[in-house]
Amino acid sequence: MTPRLVMVSGGARGLGAAIVRRCLADGHAVSVGARDPAAVRAAFGKAVTAHRFDADDPGSAQSWVDATVAQSGAPDALINNAGILRMVDFTRGEEDDLDALWNVNVKGPFRLIRAALPHLRASGRGRVVNIASTDAKRYRDSSVSLGYVMTKQALLAMTHAVRFAGWDDGLRGTAICPGAIDTEMIANIPGVTPKAQRLQPEDVAEIVSLLLRLPNQASVPEIVVNTRLESTI
């Protein structure tokens, strides 16, 4: 495998940190975008470059891409990992919560893909991996956040659009759709998969590793990894 320069959003802790660790173990160079770059440096030292990326600041997407190019070179892969969960449906939550979900889970990845696209296409082996959810594939029941489901389904649609945006240039996009991952984000959510049955962050990082190893001839639009027995996913 030829090493890549990989951009990972939200890589200071949880799943993002596991993805960063796996990328480093595979020999990739890593640029991490996070709201608190100091936390990234504290976690990884000089093994990665750390830059500010905040989905609530639209300009930070382009700034992170530009800073990565200036410091490390053009990226070959973008991992859109940063995301939030707020409980929003027809009776719970506020419209501000829905706006926050849309801004972080959809607009953030959209801006990053748009900013990185010229470099990913020029790479000849560009990759975009979007961390979605099993909620991107269906609406399970009323215990879930409808707002979260809506944003993850939008992220899935965006992933398919990536493939069309640079197919002839070797750009490939994949949405990883995992069930419950044992991170802080779902720690106190009612109805979530019991802790012992959750995926570990390293499990999902292993899938990212596989996708970065595959050649252009292997296009994998979606990977669903459920923690529950369901009839369709």
For residue 164, what pLDDT is reported? 98
Tokens linked to 227: 């923690």
Residues 8-41: tens digit of each pLDDT: 999 999 999 999 999 999 999 999 999 999 999 9
pLDDT of residue 190: 76
Dist. CA 47–CA 40, nearest whole Å:
10
- Positive/negative CA dihedral, 111, 116, 118, 123: negative
Chain-centroid distance of CA 89 in Å reads 23
The catalytic position among 43, 148, 149, 158 is 148
CA-to-CA distance for 197 and 22, rounded, in angstroms? 22
Question: What is d(CA 27, CA 3) in angstroms, rounded to the nearest whole number?
Answer: 6
pLDDT < 50 stretches in the chain: none
What is the DSSP secondary-structure string of 8-71? Answer: EES-SSHHHHHHHHHHHHTT-EEEEEES-HHHHHHHHGGGSEEEE--TTSTHHHHHHHHHHHHH
Nearest Cα to 55, choosing from 162, 155, 204? 155
* Unique residue bearing structure tokens 């419950």: 180
pLDDT for 160: 98
- Residue 84 is classified by DSSP as -
Which tokens hold the place of 14?
Answer: 């949880």
In the numeric block, the tokens 């923690």 are attached to 227
Residue range 5-225 forms a domain whose CATH class is alpha beta
Are the CB atoms for 159 and 172 separated by under 8 Å?
no
Which pLDDT value is given to residue 111? 98
pLDDT at residue 192, rounded to an integer: 85
148 has catalytic annotation:
yes
- Is residue 6 within 8 Å of residue 21, measured between CB atoms? no
pLDDT of residue 188: 75
Of 233, 185, 175, residue with least CA distance to 208: 175
In the three-class reduction of DSSP (H, G, I as helix; E, B as strand; rest coil), residue 174 is classed as: strand
| Domain positions in the chain | 5-225
Return the amino acid letter for 135. D
Nearest of 15, 20, 70 to residue 45 by alpha carbon = 20
